[in-house]
Amino acid sequence: MKTFLKQTDGRKRARRGLGTALAVLALILATAGCDALLDVDLPGVVEYENFLSDPGSAQTIVVSAVGEFECALPQYIISTGIISHQIKVSGIIGVWQNWGALRDVSRNDEGNCTTTRTGTNVGIFNPLSRARVLSEEGYDRISAFSDAEVPNRASLLGRLAAHAGYANTLLGEGMCEVTVDNGPAMTPAQIMARAEQHFTSAIQHAQASGDNAILNMAQVGRARVRLNQGDLSGAISDAQAVPQGFAHYAEYSTVTPRRENNIHNSTFFQFHMSVHPDYRNPEVQGVPDPRSQALDMESLGVDNITDQWAPEKYAERDSPIRIASWEEAQLIIAEATGGQAAVDIINTLRDQHDLPHFEGGSNQEILDQILVERSREFFLEGHRLGDMLRHDLPFPTGATHKGQSYGSLTCVPLSDQERAANPNLS
């Protein structure tokens, strides 16, 4: 977080990050198009502290925080997709090669949301920390206003809390350790606990405002972190409350490059990243699995080595990215429950795609199949690395397709830059 917030005190740095982002993001997001809840009248040039103290800034604060998370999400998916081998590096930058070989990335986790179509960053700490700060600080700001001052205040608070929950969740799933507001290193479990608190707040606000979209988004998110924490009964309870057909997406736009889907740009346009062979049109008992389809670009990547394949689900620059869904809730129930109930869930989800049924097996065989289903259902949606770490799945050994020997990396360490700037880290 030190690369974009320069004040020494953690909370002051967070406030500065929010004020800076508002000046840029509100204009970008408003021109890209928002739903009725987030339609805003943009302010003129004002001092950010005065602006943030104005109840009239509430909806713009939410627009900025949501937009920052939506910018960070494809960055996270690309970076963890490389580590979890959903993506092969087809570019030539040395940093990317290190990520592809699972080694020496601690000094390189300085990624930020890409602002042009000519480059792809890797790294997750900076963009997700910025999204976390904007959501958490925005929540604190709007909490200080009254319902009379801010129309739809409960709904806005729910939206901020839900996105704060997801920013913390992704940090907890992808990082080896995390710092918050210039504080000491925290374990993934500690970050997951923060995420659960945010999701609980989001659920409460959504219930108070009748915002079912945010309610279901937060219920899926809390089920996800509870599964990660081993709270299986809590995960089941949350997941069972999610109605069939629910899905919540991060939205993208072609109005400005910053609002484009960077997974599309890096695979269809830049040829820096390519779909891993394991996810190039896999089958279920001889039947093509539509959940993980990739297009052969009939070309090599920029490195002139890697066959270039691109994910069909992100075929456009404005393709949305799914954040939470009923399908995820069902597979959480399956993993937490096991047995025939899990087999039935797998087959219910396969029926949506006219895929052959899974016949079941031992408890381990059922769990193994659940993880396969998750890898297909959530292909390039940011789940695979968390699944691999939660179940201690093996990472590749030997050498990459470019001849580099694999290292031992299984999660993203804090960057050298973070360690040098944070006085609470050695």
Integer Cα distance of 156 and 158 in angstroms: 5
Residue 180 falls within a domain, yes or no?
A: yes
User: What's residue 118's pLDDT?
Assistant: 58
Q: Element (H or E) spanning 274, and its range?
A: strand 273-275
Structure tokens at 46: 């004002």
Average pLDDT, integer, range 139-168:
97
Structural domain including 59 reads 1-230+252-325
Eight-state DSSP code of residue 392: T
pLDDT in tens, 328-346: 999 999 999 999 999 999 9
The number of C-alpha atoms within 13 Å of 171 and in the hemisphere containing its C-beta is 33
- Please give the residue that has the higher pLDDT: either 8 or 374: 374
Q: Are strands 307-311 and 294-300 parallel, antiparallel or unpaired?
A: antiparallel
Asked whether 128 and 415 are in contact (CB, 8 A), the reply is: no
DSSP string spanning 125-176?
A: HHHHHHHHHHHHHHHHHHHTS-TTTSTTHHHHHHHHHHHHHHHHHHHHHHBS
Considering the chain, what percentage of its residues have pLDDT values greater than 90? 76
pLDDT classification of 172: cutoffs 50, 70, 90: very high
Rounded Cα distance, 287 and 3, in Å: 48
Residue 240 lies in a domain: no
In a domain, 152, yes or no: yes
Predicted local confidence at residue 106, as pLDDT: 59
CA gap 96, 423 in Å, rounded = 29
pLDDT of residue 34: 42
Whole-model pTM?
0.90
At residue 257, does pLDDT exceed 70? yes
Would you call 299 helix, strand, or coil by DSSP? strand
CA 385, 390, 393, 395 torsion-angle sign: positive
What's the chain's length in residues? 426
Is 149 among the domain residues? yes
Q: What is the mean pLDDT of residues 62-87?
A: 95
Band of residue 1 on the pLDDT scale cut at 50, 70, 90: very low
Output the pLDDT for position 147.
95
Structure-model confidence comparison of residues 108 and 418, the more confident one:
418
- Residue-level pLDDT at 95: 83
What mean pLDDT is predicted for residues 192-212?
A: 98
User: What pLDDT is recorded for position 214?
Assistant: 98
Contact 76, 194 (CB under 8 A): no
- 20-39 pLDDT per residue, tens: 455 444 444 434 444 444 44
The verdict on residue 124 lying in a domain is yes
Residue 310 near residue 281, CB atoms below 8 Å: no
Q: Is the dihedral of CA 4, 116, 87, 75 positive or negative?
A: positive
pLDDT averaged over every residue in the chain: 87
Number of structural domains the chain divides into: 1
Over residues 249-258, the mean pLDDT reads 93
Residue 424 belongs to a domain: no
- Is 389 part of any domain? no
Which pLDDT band holds residue 12 (cuts at 50, 70, 90)? Answer: very low
pLDDT in tens, 292-327: 999 999 999 999 999 999 999 999 999 999 999 999
Question: With contact defined as beta carbons under 8 Å apart, do 115 and 68 qualify?
Answer: no
Whether 172 is in a domain gets the answer: yes
What is the reported pLDDT for 39? 43
Task: Tally Cβ neighbours within 10 Å of residue 8.
Answer: 11
Return the bridge partners of 321, or none.
250
Residue 34 tokens read as 């928002």
- Residue 421 banded pLDDT, cuts 50, 70, 90: confident
pLDDT score recorded for residue 300: 98
